[in-house]
Amino acid sequence: MKVDYTTEAPVIQERLSLAQIQELVAKPLDTKPDKKFFIALTISGSLLLFGAVLLAITFYKGIGLWGNNEPVGWGFPIINFVFWVGIGHAGTLISAILFLLRQKWRTGIARFAEAMTIFAVMCAGIFPIIHLGRPWLAGYLVPYPNQHGMWVNFTSPLVWDVFAVSTYFTVSLIFWYTGLIPDFATLRDRTASKIKKSIYSIFSLGWRHSNRHWQHYEKAYVLLAGFATPLVLSVHTIVSFDFAVAILPGWHSTIFPPYFVAGAIFSGFAMVVTVLIFVRKIFDLQSIITLNHLEKMNKVIIATSLMVGYSYAMEFFIAWYSGVPEEQFVFINRAFGPYAWAYWTMVSCNVLFPQLFWFRKIRRSVPAMLAIVILVNVGMWFERFVIVVTSLHRDFLPSSWGMFIPTIYDIGILLGSFGLFFTLVILFTKSLPVISISEIKAVAEGAQPSYHGGVNHE
Partner 1 sequence: MSQTEVTYQKKELPAKLNKIGLILLAVGVALGVLGFFVDHTRAIFNYLLAYTFLISIGVGALFLVTLEYVTNADWSVPFRRIVEIFAGIIPFLAILVIPLLFNMHDLFHWSQKEVLATDKVLAGKAPYLNVPFFIIRVFGFIGIWFLFYFFLFRNSLKQDKTGNQNLTTINIRISAIFIPVFAITLSLTATDWLMSIEPHWFSTIFGVYYFSGTVIAALAAVTLAVVLLREHGYFDKRITNDHLYSLGALMFAFVNFWGYIAFSQFMLIWYADLPEETSWFIQRWAGNWAIFSILLIIIQFLVPYIALLSQPSKMNPKRLKFVAIWLLFAHLYDLFWIVIPSMPGMEKGYIFSWIDFVFPIAIVGVVILIFNMLAKRVNLMPIGDPKIKRGLDFHL
Partner 2 sequence: MNNGRKIFGVSALFNKPDDIINAAKIVAGKGYTEWDVNTPYPVHGMDDAMKIKPSKLGFVTLFFGLCGTAFALLLMWYTLSVDYPLVIGGKPFFALPAFIPVTFELTVLFATISTIIAMLIFFFGLPRNNHPLHNTDYMKKVSLDHFGIVIEAADPKFDEYKINELLKSLNPVSTAVIYEKEKVRYPIFEPKFITFLILIAVVVSFGTYLTLNKLMYITPFSWMDEQEKITPQSKSEFFSDERGMRLPVEGTVARGFIPYPFMGVEIPDKYLSNPFIPTEENLTLGKKKFLTFCSPCHGNFGNGDGRLRGQFPNPPSLHSTRIRNFEDGRIYHVMTNGKNVMPSYASQITRDERWAIVNYVRVLQRAENASDSDIEKIQ
Name the residues that contact partner 1, by CB under 8 A.
Answer: 1-8, 100-101, 222, 230, 233, 237, 241, 244-247, 252-258, 303, 306-307, 310-311, 313-315, 318, 321-324, 358, 450-455, 457-458
> 411 and 405 in contact (C-beta within 8 Å)?
no
Number of residues that bind partner 2 (CB under 8 A): 74
Helix (H, G, I), strand (E, B), or coil: what is residue 101?
coil
Decide: is 155 part of the binding site for partner 2 (CB under 8 A): yes
**Closest CB to partner 1 among residues 7, 147:** 7
- 18 interacts with, out of partner 2, partner 1, none, CB within 5 to 8 A per kind: partner 2
**Closest CB to partner 1 among residues 241, 381:** 241
**Closest CB to partner 2 among residues 2, 452:** 452
Closest distance between partner 1 and the C-beta of residue 344, in Å? 21
Select from 81, 112, 217, 343 the one that contacts partner 2 (CB under 8 A): 217
Closest distance between partner 2 and the C-beta of residue 163, in Å? 4
Q: How far apart are CA 455 and CA 19, in angstroms?
A: 31
How close are the terminal C-alpha atoms of the chain, in Å? 38
Closest distance between partner 1 and the C-beta of residue 253, in Å? 5
Cα 449 → chain centroid: 36
Q: How far apart are CA 85 and CA 88, in angstroms?
A: 5
Closest distance between partner 2 and the C-beta of residue 186, in Å? 5
Q: How far apart are CA 412 and CA 405, in angstroms?
A: 14
Closest distance between partner 2 and the C-beta of residue 150, in Å? 6
Decide: is 64 part of the binding site for partner 2 (CB under 8 A): no
Residue 434 dihedral angles phi and psi, to the nearest 5°:
-75, -10
Select from 99, 127, 176, 241 the one that contacts partner 2 (CB under 8 A): 241
Q: Give whole-number Cα distances, 182 to 200, 241, 289, 375, 403, in Å.
A: 10, 38, 21, 37, 54
Site for partner 2 in 345-384 (CB under 8 A): none
Select from 170, 254, 286, 400 the one that contacts partner 2 (CB under 8 A): 170
What letter does residue 348 receive in the DSSP assignment?
I
Select from 11, 12, 22, 119 the one that contacts partner 2 (CB under 8 A): 22
Decide: is 417 part of the binding site for partner 2 (CB under 8 A): no
- 210 interacts with, out of partner 1, partner 2, none, CB within 5 to 8 A per kind: partner 2
Q: Which long-range contacts (CB under 8 A, 24 or more apart) does 48-51 make?
A: 48/416, 48/419, 48/420, 48/423, 49/416, 49/419, 50/412, 50/415, 50/416, 50/419, 51/412, 51/413, 51/414, 51/415, 51/416, 51/417, 51/419, 51/420
Helix (H, G, I), strand (E, B), or coil: what is residue 333?
helix
Select from 224, 330, 342, 373 the one that contacts partner 2 (CB under 8 A): 224
What letter does residue 8 receive in the DSSP assignment?
P
Closest distance between partner 2 and the C-beta of residue 154, in Å? 5
Decide: is 321 part of the binding site for partner 2 (CB under 8 A): no
- Region of 58-66, 95-103, 304-312, 344-352 interacting with partner 2 (CB under 8 A): 58-66
Q: Give whole-number Cα distances, 105 to 11, 211, 290, 303, 453, in Å.
A: 6, 24, 9, 18, 19
